[in-house]
Amino acid sequence: MKDLQNFKYTLLGFISLMATSVFGMHKIEPCGHTHNKFSPLEIKCDLCGCTTTSGSFGFGTLSNANFVGLRYINQTFESKNGIYSNSPVSKETINTYQLWAQIPVKKVFMLSVNLPYQDLNREFQGKSQQLNGLGDASIVGWYKHVFYKKKTENKDKTIDYNTTKVATGHSLQFGLGAKLPTGTFEQELSNNVNPGFQVGTGSLDAMLSLGYNYGSNKFGINTLATYYFKGENKNNYQFGNQLSLSTKAFTVFKTSKMNIMPFLGFSHDTFKEITQYNETLKDTNGTLTTGTIGSEFVVKQFIFGANYALPLSQDLFGGNVTSKSRFSVYVNLAL
Amino acid sequence: MKQLKYTLVLLLCAIISSCSSDNDATTENLTGQKGSIALKFDNGVGDQNFAFNTTYQKSNNESFQLTTDLKYIISNVRFKDQNGNEFAVPEGNNMFIIDQDDANNAGEIFLNLDNINAANYTEITFGIGVDQDKYTQGATGQGNFLTLAQDKGMFWSWASGYKFVRLDGIYTDATTTNGALAVHMGSVGTSLDNYKEVTLTLPNTVLVRTNKSPEIHIKADILKIFDGETSVNFADGYNQVHTDATETPIIAVNMQNMFTVHHVHND
Amino acid sequence: MKYLKLKSIVFGLLIFNSCAKSDQFEANYEPIPLQVEKPSNFPDIEYTIENNPVTDAGFELGKKLFYEGKLSANNAIACAFCHEQAFAFTHHGHTLSHGVNDGIGFRNAQPMQNLAYQREFMWDGASTHLDLQPIIPISSELEMGETLSNIVAKLAAMPQYQKDFKRAFNGQGVTSENMLKALSQFMVMMVSANSKYDKFVRNEDNVVLTQIEQDGLNSFTTNCASCHATDLFTDQTYRNTGLPVNPQLNDKGRYNLGQNPADLYKFKVPSLRNVEKSYPYMHDGRFTTLEAVLDFYDSNIQGNSGTVDNALLRADGSYGINLTTYQKESIIAFLKTLTDYEFLEDERFAEF
C-alpha cells in the first residue's frame, strides 16, 4: 500500500512535469474526432465499485475504483478523395491500442491516464498506406461529488453514533484534463479530405468535463458532457473545438462467477471548423450521433468489456467523410 | 494534495491560455525570399469528375463525350498579396498547356510555379489563351512554347495563332447521334482576339515561403463551356467551333467563367 | 633535339589552347549589326526590329535555314523549293506548288520581297507576324509536313548548326524561337527597291521612262493604284475581284478566318513588284500572262457568290475597269519597269 501511494505521487509528479514542459508549446488541444474518447462507462463502472462480486453498485467504495488495463479500439471511415461527387473513395481503418489506468488520488479525486499507440491503414484504388506510431497521451483529473442520504434525526433526539453515510446513488463529477502532443502530426497528411488520419495532432489540448451518474443494485445511467479546447500545433494548424455529449444506461446480471452488465447508449459530437494561420478552412466541421451497444463482464479482479457503435446520423467535413463503425474491447485489472 | 492542487491549477491555466487568442503579431521580413506554388487544375463536368469516353448531359437534351483531347492554354499567371501588391510569373515561363492527358490518377493536372516572391497571397489572375502582345512580338518571348503548342496540336497549321482550347469527341442532339465534336476556340493573329482573363479570390490566404509548398486547387467545369454565360447548342453549329468570329467569343466568355478555386493547402 | 620534349609539350599546349580559343571565339563572337534598307519612296517598316535586331550571324543562319531541306519531313523541301530567287522568290511557272508526298497546295506561291513593310502575310492574311509565318508552310501536310520540335531535334544534332545558333543568338542553342527569328532576319533584309521605276522616282542614275512606260504609269495610277497603292504597290487590304470560284479548290479566302460572310472570296492585294518574273498570276495562278490579267479586269470579271469589290463596279452595274488596247500595252510596259535585277541577282540572298 505504501508503495502504491508513493507510486501515485510519483505518477502525479511526472504528469505535472510533463504538463508544465509542454505548456511552453502552443495551446492545449484534444484530438480530432478520430482519437480515443473517454468512455464514461469505464469511469462510472469503477466508481460504482463493480469490481467486487459481492457488489453493491452505488458509488460506495471509491477506494476500489482504480484499474490498469489494455484497450483496443477499431474505427473505420470512408473519405472521398477528390472534389467531385463521384470522386473515388478511400477506406480508412484506425486501430488504437491503449494502456490506460484510473488512479484514485484522494477520496474524491481521481486521475485518468491514457497512453495510446496508433496503427492506421488507408486503402485507395488498390493501394494501401500504413501509418503507425505513438499517439497523443492524455490525463484528466476528476473531482467527484457523491450525494448521500440526509440523516434523519431520531425522534427522541438521541445521538446517532452510526456515522456510516449512505449513498443515494447519484453523483456528479468534474473533470479537467489535457491531451499531450506525444504523437507526430504530419502537415502533408492534413491535406487529405480526412485530416484526422494522423497519429497525433501535434497540439496541446485542454478539456472540461461534467458528468452526472446514477447507480443502484440493478440499474445505472451515466451522462457526460465534455468540451475540448484544441490548441494550435507548430504548423499553425488547429483542429476545431469539440463538444461531446453521451449517455448510457445499463443493467446488472449476477452469476456465481461473474457480473454481466449490458448497456445501451447514445453519443453526440459537434466539431468546429479547423483553422490554419488563424483562417477557417471550409467544410472542416461536423456533427456525429452514434448509438452504442455493449457489455462488461467482471470476473474476480478482472473487468472485460466490449462495445459496438454505429453512426445514426452524421455530417462530417461537408459530407466528404463518413464514419462507418466503431468497436472496442478491453481488459482491466482492478488495482 | 498540494501536488494535486498544483496540477489542477496548471491545467486550468492551460485551458485559459488556450481560450485566449494566440496571435504572434510578429511582422516577418520576407524580402529576397522565394518559394513555389503548385496549381492543381481539376477538370469536371458539373459535380462529376471528368473522364474521357463518358457521356455527359447538357442543356436542351443534348449530350457529349470527349474522346481524344481536353486541353487549354493558361498564361500570364499572377498573384496579388494581402497588401495589394501583384507578383507576375516572369515572361518566358508564363505560358502553359493544361492537358487532361497529363493528369494524375486523381485527375489533377499540376502546374508548378517556382521563384515566386514570398508573401501572403489572396488572389490569383490568369489568362485563357495567348494575349495579343505575344502576337505582335512574333517569335520573341515564346521560347519553347511554340514547339510545345504545335506538338500538342494547339497551334493552327494554316494560320499563325493558337488554339486556346481543344475539345475533341462526339455529340448527340435531336437529329444527330455520335456526330463529330471539335471545339478549337483560339485567336487568329490580330484579326480575331479571344484572349480572356480570370481573377479568382483564394478562400484562404496562401503563404509562400522558402520552406513551404502551398497548393491551389482549381476546379474547371467543362460543362460551362457549353452551358455557361450563354447556353449554346450543338444543333446550332457549336459542335464545330474553330475561328468563327461570332461563335468563338461566346465560347471564350463561357470559359472565362468556368474556373473556381475549390480550396488551398498551405505547407 | 635538346628540348624536344619541352618544345612538343609547349607546341601541343599552344594547339590545344588555340582550339579551345576558337570555341571561345564562337561563343564570344560579336555579331555585326546589319541595316534593313529604308528606301525614301517606301512607307514605314512594320516589323519590330527591336525585338529581333538583324546581325550578320543571324542573317547567314536565316539564309542557311531558308535553303535547308531538313525543315521538311522528307528532308528535301526547303523554303527555296517554292521560293526561287530568279523568279522573285516564287515557284517558277507553277500555278500551285507541290510538297512532301506529292501533295498539291491550293494557292500560288507569293514573291518574297519587302516583307519588313508588310503587316500581314499569306493570301488570306492568316499570319500577322513574319516570325510566325514559316510555321504555316512547315506544318502544312501539303507543303513541308514537319513539326517545330522535329526540326529543332534535327538541327540540334548537327554540330555546325549548334555553333551557328550560338553565334547568332548570344550563346543560346537551337530553339524554335531562334530558328524563326533567324529566318525573319534573312527575310527582312530582302528589300527590292532598285528597279528602273525606283530609280526614276528617286531621280537616281539619270533614269528616265520611255514614252509607253510613262503612259503606262499614268494609266496605272488612274485605274490600278487605288488598290495597288504606294511604292509597295499594294494597300495590303483584302479584296474580292470577282474571280469565278474554282470548284476544285473552292478557296474562300479571308472568310476562312472568322467566317465573316463579308470576307467571302477576298484575297490580299499582292505587290506588283517584279511581277514580270513572278507568273502565273492570282491566288491560284490561273492567269499565265499579264495580258490575260488585264483582259480579265477589262471584260472578263464574271463575279462569284461573294460581293465583288466596289472599286470594280461600273456605273452601269457591271464589273470591270475599262482599258483600251493601248492602255493595256502601256500598263504592261510600265509593270516591267518594276523588275529589280539587282534584287533578283543579289548574291547576299543566293544559296551559293
Nearest CA in chain A to B207: A277
- Rounded distance between C-alpha atoms, residue A23 and residue B152, angstroms: 57
Kindly give, in sequence order, each residue whose CB lies less than 8 Å from that of residue A41, ignoring residues fewer than 6 positions away. A222, A248, A250, A263, A265, A294, A296, A305, A307
pLDDT classification of A14: cutoffs 50, 70, 90? very low
Question: How many other C-beta atoms can be found within 10 angstroms of the C-beta atom of residue B32?
Answer: 8
pLDDT above 70 (res A22):
no
CA–CA dist A106, B2 (Å, integer) = 12
Report d(CA B233, CA B247) in Å as an integer.
11
Q: Three cell numbers at A237?
A: 494548424
Domain limits, chain B: 33-265
Closest chain C residue to B190 measured between Cα atoms? C128
- Tally C-beta pairs within 8 A across B and C: 120
Model confidence at A11: pLDDT above 90: no
Of A26, A190, A208, the CB nearest to B15: A208
Q: Does B138 touch chain C (CB under 8 A)?
A: yes
Chain centre distance of CA C340: 14
pLDDT confidence band for C327 (50 / 70 / 90) = very high
pLDDT tens-digit series, residues B149-179: 989 999 887 777 889 999 999 999 999 999 9
Average pLDDT over residues C197-214: 95
User: H or E stretch including B68?
Assistant: strand B63-81
Residue from C45, C50, C131 to probe the interface with B (highest B Cβ count within 10 Å): C131
B-facing residues of A in 39-58 (CB < 8 A) are none
Query: What are A293's strand-pairing partners?
Result: A264, A308
pLDDT grade for A58, boundaries at 50, 70 and 90: very low
Question: Quick count: other Cβ atoms within 10 Å of Cβ B237?
Answer: 12
Closest chain B CA to residue C138? B157
B contact residues 107-126, partner A, Cβ 8 Å cutoff: 107
Interface of A with B in 129-168 (CB under 8 A): 141
- Put simply, whether B27 touches A (Cβ < 8 Å) is no
Report the pLDDT value the prediction gives residue B35, as an integer from 0 to 100. Answer: 94
Which residue reads 445505472 in cell numbers?
A220
pLDDT on residue A96? 92
Q: How far apart are CA B224 and CA B230, in angstroms?
A: 9
User: What are the tens digits of pLDDT across the range B63-77?
Assistant: 999 999 999 999 999
Is residue C336 scored above 60 in pLDDT?
Answer: yes
B7 closest CB neighbour out of A141, A230, A277: A141
Angle at A58 between CA A55 and CA A60, to 5 degrees: 85
Cell matching residue A317: 467535413
How far does B189 lie from chain A, in Å, by closest CA?
Answer: 38
- Is A176 part of the contact surface with chain B (CB cutoff 8 Å)? yes
Reported confidence tier of residue A27, pLDDT bands at 50, 70, 90: very low
Facing residue for B205 by CB, picked from A205, A208, A279: A279
Residue in A84, A177, A187 closest to B48 by CB = A84
Instruction: List pLDDT tens digits, range A80-130.
Output: 988 999 998 999 999 999 998 888 888 889 888 889 999 999 998 888 999
Rg (CA), chain C: 24
- Domains by residue range for chain C, with CATH: 31-192 (1.10.760.10), 196-342 (1.10.760.10)
What would the mean pLDDT of A217-225 be, rounded to a whole number? 86
- For residue B105, which residues of chain A lie inside 8 Å, CB to CB? 125
Q: Residue B71: exposed, middle, or buried by beta-carbon count in 10 A (0-12, 13-18, 19+)?
A: buried
Cβ contact (<8 Å) for C180 and B139? Answer: yes
Chain B residues 222-251 with a CB less than 8 Å from chain A: none
**pLDDT value at A33 more than 90:** no
Q: What's the pLDDT at C14?
A: 56
CB atoms under 10 Å from CB of A149, counted, come to 10
pLDDT at B202 over 60: yes
Higher pLDDT, A248 or A196: A248
Mean pLDDT value across residues A180-192? 85
What whole-number percentage of chain B has pLDDT above 70?
A: 90
CA–CA dist A280, A95 (Å, integer) = 29
Q: Which of B15, B22, B44 minimises the CB distance to A26?
A: B22
| Interface contact B147, partner C, CB < 8 A | yes
- Number of residues assigned to chain B: 267
Task: Give the end-to-end CA distance of chain C in Å, rounded to a whole number.
Answer: 49
**Between β-strands B34-45 and A286-299, what pairing exists: parallel, antiparallel or unpaired?**
unpaired
C175 contact residues in B (CB cutoff 8 A):
143-144, 147
Q: Cite the DSSP H helix spans in chain A.
A: 2-23, 40-47
Neighbours of chain B (3+ CB pairs under 8 A): A, C
Whether pTM > 0.90 for this model: the answer is no
Rounded percentage of chain A residues whose pLDDT exceeds 70: 77
The answer to whether C28 touches C187, Cβ cutoff 8 Å, is: no
Q: Is any Cβ of chain C less than 8 angstroms from the Cβ of B191?
A: yes
B44 to A83: CB separation less than 8 angstroms, yes or no: yes
Would you call A292 exposed, middle or buried from its count of C-beta atoms within 10 A (0-12, 13-18, 19+)? buried
- The pLDDT value given to residue B9: 61
Q: How many residues does chain A have?
A: 335
Using CB atoms, list chains with 3+ pairs below 8 Å to chain C: B
Distance CA B129, CA A171 (A): 71
Contact yes or no for B265 and A191 at CB 8 A? yes
Is the minimum CB–CB distance between A206 and chain B shorter than 8 Å?
Answer: yes
Q: Which residues of B touch C145 (CB under 8 A)?
A: none
Mean pLDDT of C51-78: 94
Instruction: List the single residue in C51, C136, C140 with the smallest CB-CB distance to B138.
Output: C51
The chain C residues in contact with chain B (CB within 8 A) are 48, 51-52, 120, 122, 124-133, 135-136, 139-141, 147-149, 152, 175-178, 180-181, 184, 256-260
Asked whether at least 3 C-beta pairs link C and A within 8 Å, the reply is no
The residue whose grid cell reads 503548342 is: B149
Complex ipTM: 0.83
Mutate to test the interface with C, among B157, B160, B188 (most CBs of C within 10 A): B160
Whether the Cβ atoms of residue B67 and residue B78 lie closer than 8 Å to each other: no
- All structural domains of chain A: 2-334 (2.40.160.40)
Any contact of B with A, at least 3 CB pairs below 8 A? yes
Measured between alpha carbons, how far is B226 from B57 in angstroms, rounded to an integer? 11
pLDDT at B143 over 90: no
Q: Please give the pLDDT value at position A193.
A: 75
Considering only A182-186, A312-316, B193-197, which range has the smallest mean pLDDT? Answer: A182-186
Reported as a single tens digit per residue, the pLDDT across C128-164 is: 899 999 999 999 889 999 999 999 999 999 999 999 9
| Cross-chain CB nearest to B15 (options A20, A206, A281) | A206
Instruction: Give the nearest partner residue to A277 out of B42, B207, B219, using CB atoms.
Output: B207
- Residue B139 to residue C132, Cβ atoms within 8 A: yes
Closest CB to A27 among B4, B22, B265: B22
Q: Find the CB nearest A81 among B106, B207, B267.
A: B106
User: How is A67-96 classified by DSSP, letter by letter?
Assistant: EEEEEEEEEEEEEE-SSSTT--EEEEEEEE
- Which tens digit of pLDDT belongs to each residue from C80-139? 999 999 899 999 888 899 888 888 888 999 999 999 999 999 999 999 899 999 999 999
| Segment C218-246, tens digit of pLDDT | 999 999 999 999 999 999 999 999 999 99
What is the average pLDDT across A57-70?
50
Instruction: Note whether C148 contacts B137, CB cutoff 8 Å.
Output: no
Residue C20 gets the label, from left (phi > 0), alpha (psi -120 to 50) or beta, of alpha
Residue C198 CA: distances (Å) to CA of C34, C192, C229, C231, C336? 22, 9, 14, 8, 12
Characterize the bridge pairing of strands B240-241 and B179-183.
parallel
Q: Give me the pLDDT at residue A107, please.
A: 81
The three-state secondary structure class of A166 is coil
pLDDT digits (tens, 9 = 90+) for C162-183: 999 999 999 888 999 999 999 9
